[in-house]
Structure 1
Amino acid sequence: MKYLLLYIECSELSFINFAGDHNGLLLGGSGYPCRSFLMTPFLNPQGDARCRFNESLCHTRVLIEQTFGILKRRFQILHYEMDVQPNQAVVNTVASAVLHNIGIIRGDIINNESSTDPDNDNDTAPQHNGIQDGSTMREHIVQNYFS
């Protein structure tokens, strides 16, 4: 996942977010810099609101990782490294999600076991200690939704 987020940060999506044309956020681990479009946990949260923010971010990331795990188990094309251009990888991923949703609608249930532990944030990337240009956005979120 580290490489996907690094690619996204350097891609056109990054420029779209900086221009304000895209309404949304990416979630990252503590190894990533906090950006206006990429929310990361506080390294040393002080106060209940920041702790709640970190907990919420961690639990949300776990749900996303579990969803990717379900898709990877169901569609083997996603399980292995794709030897395709990034645009085609997006098409493959979206098509897998659409087919998965059709399967859910039709009652095609798959085993949803996952070994992801919400209390275990296994970021392998080193912690980022550089410029935190997303810290204002993160503080805004903490003050408006976690205080």
Structure 2
Amino acid sequence: MEIIHFNATFPGSTHDAAVWQGSSLSQLLETNYVNGVSAGEWLLGDSGYAQLPWLMTPYAGADENTSDARYNLAHTKTRVLIEKCFGVMKTRFRCIHKHRTLLYDPVKASKIIAAVVVLHNVAIKRN
């Protein structure tokens, strides 16, 4: 449940897909794919993201008992880990819980999110 990449430069009202498109990780994966260096690199995204060769999203409207439905089930079971990670982090740092609001200017709020991610990773590593 260690976070290996995050982007806290956009306000909370920005759609996840827009944040993703503007991220350095997205650009790196696209560059690697275009240059043929991305063998074995994939990310899982929810249905709010576009399907890309390096970004796997669920199939919409997959019929039961098909390979698409089995893929969606495996996809969901795998993505549960990131949702659990977010839950642990929100429990540990109540200031980022859904019903709380960081009442700071965007620059300071970004620094708080960065600190929370770093402290979360330290806590995970030190058990």
TM-score > 0.5 by shorter chain: yes
Unaligned ranges ≥5, structure 1: 105-147
Q: Aligned partners of 2:109 and 2:82: how far apart in 1?
A: 20
Please state whether the residue corresponding to 1:84 is helix, strand or coil. helix
Say whether the 8 Å CA contact 1:71–1:96 is kept in structure 2.
no
**1:101 counterpart = 2:118:** no
Q: Does 1:50 align with 2:50?
A: no
AA aligned to 1:94 is: V
Q: CA deviation at 1:25?
A: 2.9
In structure 2, the residue matched to 1:61 is 79
Higher relative contact order (CA 8 A, sep 6+): 1
Show structure 2 runs of 5+ residues with no match.
Answer: 1-11
Corresponding letter in the other structure for 2:84: Q
Tell me if the contact between 2:44 and 2:75 (Cα under 8 Å) persists in the aligned partners.
yes
Say if 1:85 and 1:49 are closer, same or farther in 2 by CA, change over 3 A: farther
| Structure 2 residue 12 is matched with structure 1 residue 6 | no
| Alpha-carbon separation, structure 1, partners of 2:42 and 2:116 | 19
Q: 1:62/1:81 Cα in 2 relative to 1: closer, same or farther (>3 Å)?
A: farther
Task: Return the TM-score normalized by structure 1.
Answer: 0.54
1:19 Cα offset (Å): 1.2
Once the two structures are aligned, what percentage of the paired residues are identical? 28
What RMSD, in angstroms, separates the aligned Cα atoms of the two structures? Answer: 3.2
**SS across alignment from 1:101:** helix
